[in-house]
Amino acid sequence: MEIGRVCVKLAGRDAGNVAVVVDNIDSKFVLIDGNVRRRKCNVMHLEPLDEVIKIKKNASHAEVASEFKKLKLETWNTKPKKKSEKPVSKRMQNKKTAKEQLPNKEEKKAEKPAKETKKKEVKK
């Protein structure tokens, strides 16, 4: 298959979606992109269409998406994962809450009254 050939994927998770050939890997496999996940695909799982897009070999997803917009076709867009906080074990949570409940050391210490020193009387 030639680079830029528009195809329909026949098998797998992306079956029925339109893709374009981005690179020839060998005689049986090609790299596809478009309204599918960018990946290696068996030629037997593709149905070539009449359209050919002018793209260079190993074109980026952005370049393929811009060509698909010109043809008024949809493209596959991934959303970046939201970073979440690391899970904290219950043991660590208990330590944090215990520290928050205790008052600061400065507040805890109260001034001690001065001790009156009594002289011991010695009996004679």
104 confidence band (pLDDT: 50, 70, 90): low
Q: Three-state SS for 49?
A: strand
pLDDT single digits (tens) 30-50: 999 988 989 999 999 999 999
Residue 100 in this model has a pLDDT that exceeds 90: no
Query: Where are the domains positioned within the chain?
Result: 5-70
Residue 66 in this model has a pLDDT that exceeds 90: no
The CATH number given to 5-70 is 2.30.30.30
pLDDT over 90 percentage in the chain:
36
Q: Give residue 101's pLDDT.
A: 63
- Per the prediction, the chain carries an average pLDDT of 83
- pTM score of the predicted model: 0.60
Residue 54 in this model has a pLDDT that exceeds 80: yes
b/e 18-46 (16+ beta carbons within 10 angstroms → b): bbbbbeeeeeebbbbbbbbbbeebebebb
